[in-house]
Each structure stands twice: as structure tokens, then as C-alpha cells.
Amino acid sequence: MKTKTLFTSDPNAISAALEFLRAGELIAFPTDTVYGVGTFAFNAEGATKIYAAKQRPPDKALPILLGEVSQIPLVAVDLPDSALKLAKAFWPGALTLIVPKHPDIPEEVSSLDTVGIRIPDYDFTRALLNAAGPMAVTSANISGQVSPVDADEVYAQLSGSLPIILDGGRTAGNLSSTVIDCTKEEIVILREGPISLKEIKAVLEN
């Protein structure tokens, strides 16, 4: 497969991305943290393609990115109070919340009874997600290698595995999001990122 690059400033960028997504293909694009590779959140075959492109173990669930809070009920159920509180404080932003999964989410996206959800703090990405709906998205790199912060780094690792990379320049952040498990009585940090434990505790204790 030939991989082409299209600038996010191109007026056809989102419509081109949607065309590939509807054809079952993957797309790569910038977020507020690193570049991601994704497919529709309900596309089991697309999720399988992500695992293959990244050489990622299939037992590692794919996070879901949302364009706005109103999309949460499509992908998650019975959100704990802690998740609602953290979402209100840090979204849009670099915080992924692990919450109970909606039954419509395919096993290929998450084989667990939970799913990670996030709203990115990047206008283009939210516009894409509002047009596409929730997307299963993970960092656009070969598993175990450095997460890409520009389109060239995505191309170097994933060219030939997807038809298009949306180039928005270098991302503002170089760390993947903080990941918090909100399904237990006390929250658990699964991955440290731009949002610190101190900031999270300050919100939950208020």
C-alpha cells in the first residue's frame, strides 16, 4: 500500500480521512500529545489492522478518542463519579480514563470489560472526531518504539500500512496521555504522563 501525506490545513483533509475510514482503512493524524493511528471505534476489522501495523499484542486494548462529552454514552456505561470529576477538570486534555465498556465496542478494540476514553486538546483532532464519531486510536508507531511527534516519524515507521497521514506539523506534547483506572474504589495510575498524580488528587479531594 502506498502512503500519502495530506496537510491538516487542506480543506479536504477531513473528508479524505472519512473516505478512507469508511473504506475500512487506517489513518494517522496529530493529537495534543503524539501522532495517533486509528479507525472507527466500532470497526473490528480496522482494529485488527492497527494491531498488525503496530506489531502490537492483541490483548492490549485500544483507547478511544472522542470529539465531545456527548459521545461518551456511545462507548462507555455507568461512569464512576471519579471519572466524571476528572473528565470535567482535565478534558479536553492528556488524560485517558479507564471506565466500563459499552457492549457495542468490539472485542478487537478491547477484550476487557473496560475501555480507555479521552477528548484531545487539539482543534483539528476534535473536528475529525466530531465528523467521524468515536475512534479507536493509539500512538502511530511500531510497538515498543518511540511515539512519533511529526508526520515524518509516522511515515518512517508505518508507511505501507495505511493510505494517509494527516500532517499537522510537530505536536505540542511529546508524552502520551496519563492513564487512570477509575473502575476501582480508589483510582489507579496505569501510566504517568503530562497530568501529574498531584493534580489528579487535588481534583478528587475537592
pLDDT of residue 172: 87
- pLDDT tens readout for residues 60-74: 899 999 999 999 999
C-alpha span between 99 and 142 (Å, rounded): 26
- Residue 205, pLDDT above cutoff 90: no
Per-residue pLDDT tens over the stretch 5-28: 999 999 999 999 999 999 999 999
pLDDT score at 176: 85
**Which pLDDT score is estimated for 58?**
80
What is the band of 206 on the pLDDT scale with cuts at 50, 70, 90? confident
Distance between CA 61 and CA 83 in Å, rounded? 19
- CA-closest candidate to residue 139, choices 194, 67, 65: 65
Report pLDDT digits (tens) over 95-135.
999 999 999 999 999 999 999 999 999 999 999 999 999 99
Helix (H) or strand (E) holding 167: strand 164-167
Contacts of 116 (CB under 8 A, 6+ apart): 61, 63, 64, 96, 97, 98, 99, 179
What pLDDT sits at residue 80? Answer: 93
How much helix, strand and coil, in percent to the nearest 5, is found in the chain?
30, 20, 45
| pLDDT (0 to 100) of residue 60 | 87
Confidence class for position 175, pLDDT limits 50, 70, 90: confident
Domains in the chain: ranges and CATH: 4-204 (3.90.870.10)
114 and 99 in contact (C-beta within 8 Å)?
A: yes
pLDDT tops 80 at residue 168: yes
* Helical ranges in the chain per DSSP H: 13-22, 44-54, 72-75, 81-90, 123-132, 151-158, 197-204
Q: Look at residue 59 in the predicted model and tell me its pLDDT.
A: 81
pTM of the model: 0.95
Our measurement of the distance from residue 49's CA atom to the centroid of its chain's CA atoms, rounded to an integer in Å, reads 15
CB atoms within 10 A of CB 96: 25
